[in-house]
Structure 1
Amino acid sequence: MRRGWPPVTAAENIEGTGAERVDAVRLPEKLRRAGAARLVATDQSDPRAATERFIASAGDHGIDLGLMWGVVDRSTRVREVVLVVPGAGATAMMFCSKPDRRAGRDDGHAARVAAIRGACAGIADAAPSRVRVMQCLPEPHEVWAHRACDAAGMTTIGRLDYLRRPFKRADAENDPGAPPDDVTVRSADEIRPEALDSTLITALERSYVETLDCPELSGMRTTDDILASHRGTGVYDPALWSIAYVNGEPEGCLLLTRCPEFSTVELVYIGLSPKLRGRRFGQWFMSHGLAQAAMHAPRHDVTCAVDARNLPAQRLYERLGFTRFAERCPFVQAV
């Protein structure tokens, strides 16, 4: 795949419209406040206060305001801006400025595209060892963001459904029974530390075979990076990570993590190799995981995100009482 966009400037002839040439730059320190204002202030009743709150809290949330790319006009007004927030596992999230409704119309498409391209090109130099995949997660109704990500060359991977299942006291006492005779399940804290990562990587890679869950992501990151991303979500607790073995070989895993700030347990990942599919083991595995969550994080709801196209997973979650509470439309770009 492409290493990233060349250090271009542009949105020349975007969608064949003959749009003006637009330059995107990494915002210098003197323009960061203006960039922050453009990100947060368009739909706020008190734009100045909203900007100050965002700047003051940025460091607490791991946000580096030096990782903003934008389009600046001749009067040094920041027209459109993209903020990049690197995360665990060589990924980074992009946040794009919204159309400024106070202007009465959205004329920022070309500048938005240029800012996205500039960020994808620039992050390779700004954080060369930290980011391999850029992501943007607009909501379905944010058509302006879809158009910009698409025009900037990012790949869309359908729709993610965000699901929630309320905490049930009975989960802690719910015994799903024994797994199939050829299957054993162990938690990560039962595995020798020196063998844990290789075991998890084997289970993950086998679960990716013919996966229905965001197959477009295949090959964009190493499995080591993916494991680091899973481990970097929430508060890692090996007691909440389970590995399924078939005849002694790791063939699947279920990874849960506590997110105390939201009073939830997130199902970070569940995946099974072909050896475990079609056996209704997924429901047993999830019931086992929900019991573990109820014991280790009582009174916490369980949340997850699932590819809307993954119908077997959708049906499983529905049977277990999950309901959708949000949707996002992911776009990704390898850098």
Structure 2
Amino acid sequence: MNAGNECSKSRVLGNQERGRLMASKPIDGPPAPVRIARIGPTKRREALECLLGSDRYRAERFMRFAHKTEMNLDHLWSALDEKGRIRSTVLASPNPGRTAMVFVSPPEPGPGVQLAAQVIQHALKGLGDAGICLAQALVTPEEVREMKALEAGGLHKIAILTYMQFTTGRRDRKIAELPDDFRFGHFHSTDRGMIEQLLAHTYIDTLDCPGLVGLRCMEDIVDGHMKSGTFKPEWWTILYQGDHPVGASLVNESRDASSAELVYLGIIPELRGRGLGRSLLTQSIAKVAESTMKTVVLAVDEANAPALEMYRSSGFRRTIRRHAFVSKVERTACDN
């Protein structure tokens, strides 16, 4: 079973300021607005007001947040009417691993969905020119027009994600039990090639966002995992059978240091169904419990019933749900 999938990575921005993501494809629709343009510093606040559906104060607060977290605002695009007023805005925020999270302003009823889709297309072309390989978006179940805009703009829905949370305690410091021929290890800097091969093996027949498989090279995927929050190599647990790596549980510290995030958990298909995923999870929780961190969070595909049951029975509780959309950004540099 696999968890902590790629589409969970917009959690920080999404939960704080209207998270959602997307990518490209030609569409039919109403006549194009007077202008769709990349927004520079002079109109950035106005564009962010549109994106957030808010006032000047929240837009300025968002800009301070972006500056503090080194969030790239260069891929901010808007549709402007004949008077130069912003009618629709899309922010494409590049992330490590040549991905980007795409956020769209709330579309107006009627032609607003097609207008937003046109802005999305421009933003995605800009991402392709910047070497981004995969665009992603997350929206709440209530954001129906946003989903329509994402689909019209070329993204497709791959999953509904359930976000879950666990609070650690002294009782969770126990070391997981394993069969005699298995052991735990942790990631070392010399293990880069090994972890790429192992994750590729665990992706086979995965139930967790299977639509993501093959959209990115493994090098980019591991880069994304390493740079999701603060990389903690001692929290990257590798399961071995003899000397052969057969599973991994990758945990990082969240960017704001408020929680530990299970960014990935996977077992090779030949060994699934033997309780080894639960042992990996228990071991990872034990490592976090030994630190000052008290909370572990994750995201899992709702279609992945075995993983959902494992987390539920281990004490994780559901928090929020998000619809996940993706699109490969076509560019020769990505085809490796």
Same fold (TM over 0.5): yes
- Determine if the alignment matches structure 1 residue 97 to structure 2 residue 105: yes
- Report what 2:285 is aligned to: 290
Letter in 1 for 2:59: T
The alignment partner of 1:158 has SS state of strand
Any idea what SS the aligned residue of 1:157 has? strand
Aligned residue for 1:37?
A: 49
Letter in structure 2 aligned against 1:271: G
SS at match of 2:106: coil
Query: Could you say which residue in structure 2 is the equivalent of 1:170?
Result: 171
How many angstroms apart in 2 are the aligned matches of 1:281 and 1:135? 30
Q: CA distance change for structure 1 residues 260 and 94 in 2, over 3 Å: closer, same or farther?
A: closer
Identity %: 31
Query: 1: CA distance between counterparts of 2:279 and 2:235?
Result: 15
Evaluate the alpha carbon distance shift between residue 61 and residue 134 of structure 1 in structure 2; reply closer, same or farther with a 3 A threshold. same
Deviation at 1:144, TM superposition (A): 1.0
Task: Supply the AA of the counterpart residue of 1:80.
Answer: S
Q: Which amino acid aligns with 1:168?
A: G
Check conservation: 1:120, 1:333, Cα contact below 8 A.
no
- 5 Å-filtered alignment, 1:185-200, equals 185-188=184-187, 191=188, 193-194=189-190, 196-200=191-195
Q: Which residue in the other structure is 2:162 paired with?
A: 161
How many residues were matched structurally?
Answer: 306
The yes-or-no answer on 1:332 pairing with 2:326 is: yes
Q: Is the 8 A contact 2:135 2:328 kept in 1?
A: yes
Partners of 2:24 and 2:120 within 8 A in 1 = no
**Aligned counterparts of 2:309 and 2:197: Cα–Cα separation in 1:** 26
Give the Cα–Cα distance (whole angstroms) in 2 for the partners of residues 28 and 175 of structure 1: 53
Question: Is the CA contact 1:203–1:243 (under 8 Å) kept in the aligned structure 2?
Answer: no
Which of structure 1's runs of 4+ aligned residues deviate more than 6 A? Answer: none
Shift of 1:290: 0.9
Report the residue type matching 1:242 in the other structure. Answer: T
Structure 1 residues 175 and 185 mapped into 2: Cα distance closer, same or farther (>3 Å)? Answer: closer
Aligned-partner Cα distance in 2 for 1:293–1:56? 31
State the 1:65 CA deviation.
2.7
Instruction: Indicate the structure whose relative CO is greater, using CA pairs within 8 Å and at least 6 residues apart.
Output: 2
Give the Å deviation of 1:35.
1.0
Aligned position for 1:235: 230
Query: Matched residue of 1:137: which SS?
Result: strand
Q: 1:284 to 1:56 in 2, by over 3 A?
A: closer
Pick closer, same or farther for the CA change 1:93–1:198 going to 2, 3 Å. Answer: same
The match for 1:120 is 124
Return the offset for 1:5: 4.7
Task: Write out aligned runs for 1:24-173 (5 A).
Answer: 24-40=36-52, 42=53, 44=54, 47-99=55-107, 107-125=111-129, 127-128=130-131, 131-172=132-173
* Residues 108 and 289 of structure 1: CA distance in aligned 2, closer, same or farther (over 3 Å): same
Q: TM-score, normalised by structure 2?
A: 0.86
- The one-letter amino acid of 2:296's match is V
Whole-Å Cα distance in 2 between the matches of residues 197 and 299 of structure 1?
26
Q: Amino acid of the residue matched to residue 156 of structure 2?
A: T
Kept in 2, the 8 Å contact 1:206–1:252? The answer is no
RMSD between aligned alpha carbons? Answer: 1.9
Q: CA deviation at 1:75?
A: 0.5
Q: Which amino acid aligns with 2:302?
A: A
Deviations 1:241-285 (A, max 9, x none): 111122322121000112262521111100000132111111111
Q: How big is the shift at 1:33?
A: 2.7
**Aligned AA (2:105):** S
Q: Does the aligned pair in 2 maintain the 1:252–1:270 contact within 8 Å?
A: yes
How many Å apart are 1:106 and its aligned residue?
6.0
Residues 56, 257 of structure 1: alpha-carbon distance in 2 compared, 3 angstrom cutoff: closer
Counterpart position of 1:300: 294
How much does 1:73 deviate?
Answer: 0.8
Deviates more, 1:133-142 or 1:51-60: 51-60
CA distance in 2, matches of 1:260, 1:227: 17
2:133 counterpart letter in structure 1: R
- Structure-2 change in CA distance of 1:170 and 1:154 (3 Å): same
* Letter aligned with residue 314 of structure 1: L
What is the letter of the counterpart of residue 246 of structure 1? Q
Report the Cα distance in structure 1 between the residues aligned to 2:254 and 2:40, rounded to whole angstroms: 35
Please, which of 12, 27, 30 is the counterpart of residue 28 of structure 2? 12
Alpha-carbon distance change, 223 to 284 in structure 1, aligned in 2, over 3 angstroms: same
TM-score normalised by length of structure 1: 0.86
Show structure 1 runs of 5+ residues with no match: 14-18
53 and 317 in structure 1: CA distance in 2 versus 1, 3 angstrom threshold:
same
Task: Give me the whole-angstrom Cα distance separating, in 2, the residues matched to 1:162 and 1:255.
Answer: 16
Shift of 1:29: 4.1
Q: State whether residues 46 and 56 of structure 2, in contact with CA within 8 Å, keep that contact through their aligned partners in structure 1.
A: no
- Separation in 2 of the partners of 1:327 and 1:168? 26
CA distance in 1, matches of 2:225, 2:156: 22
Match of 2:312 in 1: 318
